[in-house]
């Protein structure tokens, strides 16, 4: 059981704040989410999250306080959003009932905070009162595939809820659905179960039978009971489903995934039954990439070897290259690259004679075609792996060209998503190994020519930079 929206920091809890939280946890609550609403409350909300490991928060400026949203205040929202206990930007939105701030100011502040959330890859907690058209139009304008959020304390029609869900948003209900004159039953019944969450909005919106009294987090169970009644479900099922939704939405679960397990989890999720609305739904990727072009710069050490036990170090090479990539999905891409390097160590001590020897001015080229797997495409920092075929040419002493087919793999790659108006820049570093194996008859080992297993190993750490143009214009 999770209360996804409560204002435990408000003065109504000054006398028994700890006790109110304790009552909720004793009743089976696993987490509380407290949205900040104005700059003077930021520190108090953060202090509450530090008081208990089960309390998390959002950072935002409510439309009532839009006139307080100076550039400095908005910068602080973004700065504090990096905190470990901050899991959303909010509470933000529009309120045309009280109009404590001019509507154009509310809209500007709302847009600026939506943009903060997109930059930070955080969900938004949205307040809406008598501003349906303007609010939904702004969400529609700002939705570029990276915006996700929840419309809290929802009081709209099924059609409005459907539009919000199509935009990728969750719907959260509170004590208002228990009121005798509530008209929300149809909306509660039609919201997809994997998009539904529950809350108290404490100290406000107390559910029946506590209406007229102070609300508190423990009362979220009464909201779950009403949802269960409307949807003909058990209370336990409603609590289980809404808890799972909230954990995914606010990233409240501590998931330990090894790099090996991550692809298996992705595969299992992608092959789940399409009719099963309990399956995991990955949040929209804010760093959608399609076609990218770029360059690279690598340092390579080349070692050749044979089955007779001989090895030779052909020195280190450094050189530039280029790459082209096409993303088949968020996780998988086809990558083609070219790299060229020339020896940069002209002399070396021969271990057999102890004397310096002149290395051949060898030129090496690698043409690679790879399948790339990105472990965490929705994060700013990505980890990726590659595996594929290679065509290698080695120009020994610049007069003896040899060509080989082989394979390569990226042991590890790390890249950074940098979103700009003209697209995503994707700088990174990776460690690649190219291997060639073959039979060679041209080398003389000992007194006779022998047919030997012969090969090369390229060890190439390299720096990359790719650019993925913004084709959508958003």
Name the 3-class secondary structure at 108. Answer: helix
Whether the Cβ atoms of residue 62 and residue 10 lie closer than 8 Å to each other? no
Report the C-alpha gap between 434 and 454 in whole angstroms: 14
Please give the sequence-ordered ranges of beta strands (E in DSSP) within 417-451, or none if there are none.
418-420, 423-440, 444-445, 448-449
Going by pLDDT thresholds of 50, 70 and 90, the confidence category of residue 199 is very high
Whether the Cβ atoms of residue 426 and residue 416 lie closer than 8 Å to each other? yes
Which pLDDT value is given to residue 434? 75
* 264-272 long-range contacts, CB within 8 A, separation 24+: 266/331
Pairing status of strand 31-35 against strand 55-59: parallel
Fold of 2-249: TIM Barrel (3.20.20)
The two three-digit tokens of residue 226, written as one number:
């009403």
The two three-digit tokens of residue 295, written as one number:
């360059």
Check whether 305 has a pLDDT greater than 80: no
Q: How far apart are the first and last CA of the chain?
A: 38
Q: Does domain 291-349+356-469 have CATH number 2.40.160.20?
A: yes
How many residues would you count in the chain?
A: 474
Higher pLDDT, 303 or 426: 426
Please give the sequence-ordered ranges of beta strands (E in DSSP) within 332-451, or none if there are none.
332-343, 347-349, 356-358, 363-374, 381-396, 400-416, 418-420, 423-440, 444-445, 448-449
Report the C-alpha gap between 156 and 104 in whole angstroms: 23
Return the percentage of the chain with pLDDT > 90, whole number: 65
Return the percentage of the chain with pLDDT > 70, whole number: 78
Going by pLDDT thresholds of 50, 70 and 90, the confidence category of residue 4 is very high
Are both 2-249 and 291-349+356-469 of the same fold? no
Report the C-alpha gap between 407 and 149 in whole angstroms: 44
Average pLDDT (74-99) is 95
Going by pLDDT thresholds of 50, 70 and 90, the confidence category of residue 237 is very high
Check whether 433 has a pLDDT greater than 70: yes
Average pLDDT (160-170) is 96
Higher pLDDT, 451 or 291: 291
The two three-digit tokens of residue 122, written as one number:
């955080």
Q: What value does the mean pLDDT of the chain take? A: 84
The two three-digit tokens of residue 143, written as one number:
């939705």
Going by pLDDT thresholds of 50, 70 and 90, the confidence category of residue 458 is low
Check whether 241 has a pLDDT greater than 60: yes
Give the number of other CB atoms < 10 A from CB of residue 302. 22
Check whether 370 has a pLDDT greater than 60: yes
Which pLDDT value is given to residue 364? 76
Name the 3-class secondary structure at 308. Answer: coil
Rg, the chain, Cα only: 30
Tokens 């020896």 sit on residue:
343
Question: What are the sequence ranges of the domains in the chain?
Answer: 2-249, 291-349+356-469
């Amino acid at each position: 059981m999770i209360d996804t929206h409560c204002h435990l920091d408000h003065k109504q809890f000054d006398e028994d704040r700890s006790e109110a939280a304790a009552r909720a946890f004793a009743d089976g609550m696993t987490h509380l989410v407290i949205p900040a609403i104005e700059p003077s409350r930021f520190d108090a909300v953060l202090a509450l999250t530090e008081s208990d490991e089960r309390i998390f928060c959002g950072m935002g400026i409510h439309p009532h306080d839009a006139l307080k949203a100076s550039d400095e205040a908005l910068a602080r929202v973004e700065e504090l959003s990096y905190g470990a206990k901050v899991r959303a930007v909010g509470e933000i939105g529009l309120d045309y009932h009280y109009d404590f701030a001019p509507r154009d100011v509310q809209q500007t502040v709302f847009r600026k905070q939506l943009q903060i959330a997109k930059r930070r890859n955080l969900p938004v907690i949205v307040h809406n009162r008598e501003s349906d058209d303007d609010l939904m139009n702004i969400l529609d304008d700002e939705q570029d595939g990276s915006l996700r959020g929840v419309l809290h304390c929802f009081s709209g029609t099924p059609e409005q809820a459907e539009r919000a869900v199509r935009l990728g948003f969750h719907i959260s209900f509170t004590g208002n659905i228990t009121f005798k004159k509530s008209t929300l039953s149809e909306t509660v019944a039609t919201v997809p179960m994997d998009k539904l969450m529950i809350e108290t909005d404490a100290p406000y919106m107390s559910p029946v039978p506590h209406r007229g009294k102070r609300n508190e987090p423990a009362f979220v169970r009464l909201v779950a009971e009403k949802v269960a009644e409307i949807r003909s479900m058990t209370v336990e099922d409603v609590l289980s489903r809404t808890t799972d939704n909230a954990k995914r939405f606010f990233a409240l679960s501590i998931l330990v995934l090894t790099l090996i397990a991550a692809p298996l989890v992705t595969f299992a999720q992608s092959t789940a039954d399409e009719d099963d609305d309990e399956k995991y739904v990955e949040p929209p990727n804010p760093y959608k990439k399609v076609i990218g072009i770029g360059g690279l710069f690598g340092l390579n050490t080349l070692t050749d070897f044979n089955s007779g036990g001989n090895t030779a170090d052909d020195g280190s090479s450094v050189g530039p290259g280029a790459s082209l990539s096409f993303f088949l999905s968020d996780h998988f891409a086809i990558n083609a690259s070219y790299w060229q390097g020339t020896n940069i160590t002209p002399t070396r001590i021969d271990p057999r004679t102890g004397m310096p020897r002149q290395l051949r001015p060898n030129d090496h080229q690698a043409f690679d075609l790879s399948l790339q797997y990105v472990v965490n495409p929705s994060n700013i920092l990505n980890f990726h792996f590659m595996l594929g075929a290679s065509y290698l040419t080695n120009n020994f002493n610049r007069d003896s060209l040899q060509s080989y087919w082989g394979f390569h793999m990226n042991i590890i790659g790390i890249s950074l998503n940098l979103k700009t108006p003209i697209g995503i820049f994707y700088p990174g570093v990776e460690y690649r190994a190219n291997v060639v194996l073959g039979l060679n008859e041209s080398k003389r080992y000992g007194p006779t020519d022998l047919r030997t297993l012969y090969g090369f190993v390229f060890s190439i750490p390299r720096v990359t930079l790719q650019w993925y143009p913004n084709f959508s214009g958003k």
